[in-house]
Structures are given as C-alpha cells and as structure tokens.
Amino acid sequence: MLNTIRLLVQCQNKQYVLEQIRCASQVLPQLSAEKYNVKRKDFATVQSSDVNFFKTILGNERVLTDDNDVTPFNIDWIKNCRGQSKVVLKPKSTQEVSQILSYCNEKKLAVCPQGGNTGLVGGSVPVFDEVVLNLMLMNNIVSLDEISGALICEAGCVLENVDNYVRERNLIMPLDLGAKGTCQVGGNVSTNAGGLRLLRYGNLHGSILGVEAVKADGIIIDCLKTLKKDNTGYHLKHLFIGSEGTLGVVTKVAIHCPVLPKAVTVGFFGVENFENILQLYKSAKSSLGEILSAFEMADRDAISSTVKNLNLPNPISDYPFYVLVETHGSDEGHDGEKLNRFLSKEMESGLILDGTVTSEPGKMQTIWNLRENIAGAGLRHGYVFKYDVSLPQKHYYELVPKIKQRLGDKAIVVCGYGHIGDGNIHINVTVPEYTREVAGLLEPYVFEEVSALQGSISAEHGVGFRKPHYIHYSKDRSALQLMHQLKTLMDPNGILNPYKVLPEEC
C-alpha cells in the first residue's frame, strides 16, 4: 500500500486530494521494468558508502532511504510507472546539485531528476534504482525586475506559488496548466510545458530568458541572463528547455512575465460538431484577436465523465462538443461586451448552440475547473492510456472516433480535448485496468496514424519513458543521431535520466 499522507501532501493541490486518497488505497502499480520489459543498464548500485557520502553533503534529513518515504517518488501521477529507487536526495542549492552529480558521475550511479512529479510520460520517476534528485527544496524566488518583467527563481518553485508572487506585483507567469499547484518551474522548463495559454503567450523557448543548469559531471552552466536580446554565440539555454532531464539538471530559471491583465472574461459554449469548432476558432481569432488568451475544446465524453466522476457542475447543458474561450485584456466592459457579442453572433449563425459568458472570478473558476480536471477524472475508471499529440487542425479530432471504433466495448471512455489553437489534442482511453491487449490495440496504432497525418507523437508532455521507441514516427534519423551525439557530449556516462527520451538505436 502507498503512504496516504505523503501522497496527499507531496503530490497534489487541493483539486486532486480525493483522487490521491482513492489511489492510495489501491495496490501499487506494476514495476515499469517488468511492465515494459526493460533491461537494466550497466550502472553501479547505490552502496551504504554512497548514502553516507550524500549525508555528508545534505545531512540526514534530506537523504531519504526508508521504503515508505521513497515509494511516492517512485510512482508517477497517473500511476502508470513505478521505479525501484532506494534513495531520494533533496538538495537546497546549485552547489549541492553539482557535488551530487559530480559524485554520481564518478561512481557511474544513474540519476533521475524530479520536479513536482506531475509528468504524464513516465519521465519523472526512475525505471530501476536510479537516485532520485528532487528539486522541491530549491524553492526561492531570487529576483524580480518589475519594469522588464524578468523573474529569476530556483527550479523547485511551484508554478502556482510563483504566479501568486508575481500577480501581487501586477505580472503573471506566461504559462498555466492544470498541475500548477504541484509542478515546478524547473519541471516546466525541462518538459517545455505548453498549457492553457500558449496561444497567447507563446511557448517557453520564447519566454525563458536564461537558465542555470548542472551538467552530468557537476559543472555548472551559467546561462542565467535576463536580457531579451543576447546573440552572443550558441543559444545554449534551449538545450535544457524540453530535454526532460537528460542533458542537465535545471537549477535556476529566468523567465519573462507578462503584465497582469486588468480584465479577464471566460465563455463556455456548446457546439454541434467538430467542423463548427474550427469555424468558431477562425471567427474568434478575427473577432477577439488581440484579447484572445485561450481557446480550448472538449468533447461530450470528456466533460460528462468529469462532471460525473468528480461531481463538478456544468454551467450549460449536454452538448456533443464544448469550447472554452478566454480573453485577457485591459477593459472589462469592452472585453465582456466583445465576448458577449461573439456569443450572440455565433448563436445566430448556428456555430454555438448555447453558452455563457462571465467575468465573475467564482464562475470563471467553475468553468476552468471542468476543463482542468479532465486529466484527473479519468483515473476514477481505473487506468488511463494517455495520448498527447499535435495534428494539423483539420485532422485534429479524426483519431477519436477511429480509436472508439477500434476498441469497441474494451474501453470505458475514449475522449478528446485540448488546445485547439496549438493543434494539440489529448486523447484519453479509460479502462478498468491496464491490459496488454488494449495496449497492443493502441500502440503503435495511434502513433502510426499521427505520423500518417504529419503530426507529432508528443505535443507538450514530452517523450519521457513511454515514447522513446516511438520517437522515430516524428523525428528523422539524422535528427536522432545528432540528439545521441549531444547526449554523449554532455553526459558521456549516460547517468542522467537513462531509459528516457532517446531510443536505444537510431
């Protein structure tokens, strides 16, 4: 059994508390190594002398070795992967990270960097006995330039905490995701997290001004600039954005924070079919242009199972599809009026069947809760196969009915939802429990279909442990070879997050 209290405290914000209690009463997930038939690489095994060394750096309290303490760090958020680590280290400074990595590199001990452990592709937990390096105690805000909006923080800062901090100073974080109460800024950078407002604020390759990271050999790479323009040589920070802990451990981040919008308005609309969603998106871009901050969609199954499983209210009735539109602007009256006008116009045109528009914080939160909790709601059915893919918008929803048909009554729910503006759909397939039969029906089928449509098999969640052997569906051999060369250059012993991102062969 899992340790209930620890999961409650460490894993999730309030919205997921109940989910954690439920999961805690279940048996442990199968070991990843067995489930996915992985062979351990030739790393050293942690000895008591190694633990003693870690304790000389961190003290006894920040080196966890008790099984009950370590277990939650071995299990991922969707309870799909379980590693076998015996040691969790909690550094408090870049210097400590550097000392740990330098030692592990020397001893050929594998390391799994870990942030908030909300990753959805198994990248954040060990596969075998890798040492878990959790950044949660590196959670200080270093500086904020309120004029330029440049914030520097340590990698272990929880996204929501940083957002609250900058909001008090009239700024916002440029990214927002359902896991904001738990995920860490270092984890966001390492996964190049997308989220709910990428449409408006762009991705992290644009917002991240600088990064401090520690290489596998313990060398600290200082690219922590806060300048908007800096063309002095190679843009090394980008190597750490989205490399999922395989090239270095991110220890500090400089990020550009946009101005807090004075006016926020949210609309939630019922729509007849997917074609109408695309037409609505086109219309929203032209009618709401400069204030549009999110354009999200979810199908009936995604919303109805969230309403049912988590007992959440739906402010409108039952429709085949739903669209959530948000605006960030500077004039509440003007923005609200614009979105209301958009609703009336598109109800007249028939693109919207019914809808609601609100600027009241409580009501906006109710709508966002429905959207943000789809990820957690599916876990109530038992097990979720999750697919996070990018597709050309015209093909965005095609896979959902195909998968439904392919699985028939083998699935409880097959649903699609996501970030329409980014061409990023999430497809969740819920089943009572994991079976090889359903896994075999889904994979590589889903990736073959995505590849045939010129999509990407990982839009925003990363490759992690679950997708290295499918990466070739989206990455050319020449690119994979260069990735391997970079990995060898930066981590010659391969100690950083082995079994993740890179395929064995290319």
Q: Contact residues for ligand MLT (CB under 6 A)?
A: 178, 374-375, 386, 388, 418, 426
Q: DSSP character for 329?
A: E
Coil, strand or helix at 358:
strand
Stretch that binds ligand FAD, among 35-43, 80-88, 440-448, 458-466 (CB under 6 A): 458-466
Q: Distance of alpha carbon 49 from its chain centroid, rounded?
A: 36
Q: Which of the choices ligand MLT, ligand FAD, none does residue 183 contact, using the CB cut-off of 5 to 8 A by kind?
A: ligand FAD
Stretch that binds ligand FAD, among 174-182, 281-289, 298-306, 361-369 (CB under 6 A): 174-182
Specify the residue, 63 or 196, whose C-beta has the smaller distance to ligand FAD: 196
Stretch that binds ligand FAD, among 31-39, 445-453, 459-467, 476-484 (CB under 6 A): 459-467
250 binds ligand FAD (CB under 6 A): yes
483: amino acid identity, one letter: M
Please compute, for residue 43, the number of CA atoms within 13 A of its CA located in the half-sphere on the CB side: 28
User: How many CB atoms within 10 Å of residue 505?
Assistant: 8
Evaluate whether 335 touches 291 at the Cβ level (below 8 Å): yes
Compute the least distance from the CB of residue 461 to ligand MLT, in Å.
6
Q: Which of the choices ligand FAD, ligand MLT, none does residue 244 contact, using the CB cut-off of 5 to 8 A by kind?
A: ligand FAD
Compute the least distance from the CB of residue 156 to ligand FAD, in Å.
7
Considering only 190, 207, 305, 309, the residue that binds ligand FAD (CB under 6 A) is: 190
Compute the least distance from the CB of residue 212 to ligand FAD, in Å.
10
Stretch that binds ligand FAD, among 20-28, 178-186, 200-208, 441-449 (CB under 6 A): 178-186
430 binds ligand FAD (CB under 6 A): no
The CA distance from 472 to 449, in Å, is 13
Q: Which of 383, 356, 382 is nearest to 370 (CA)?
A: 356
User: What is the layout of strands, in order, in the sheet containing 249-256?
Assistant: 141-145, 150-154, 249-256, 208-214, 220-223
The CA distance from 311 to 212, in Å, is 43
Specify the residue, 131 or 343, whose C-beta has the smaller distance to ligand FAD: 131
Evaluate whether 312 touches 374 at the Cβ level (below 8 Å): no
What does the block give as tokens for 155? 């990698």
124: amino acid identity, one letter: S
Q: What is the x/- site pattern for ligand FAD, positions 373-402, by CB under 6 A?
A: --xx--------------------------
Compute the least distance from the CB of residue 252 to ligand FAD, in Å.
9
Q: Which of the choices ligand FAD, ligand MLT, none does residue 426 contact, using the CB cut-off of 5 to 8 A by kind?
A: ligand MLT
CA distances in angstroms from 242 to 100, 363, 456, listed in the order given: 22, 34, 15
CA dihedral 85, 90, 93, 99 (to 10 degrees): -40
Q: Which residues of the chain form contacts with ligand FAD (CB under 6 A)? A: 77, 112-120, 123-124, 135, 155, 177-179, 183-184, 186-188, 190-191, 193-196, 244-245, 249-250, 375-376, 460-461, 464, 497, 500
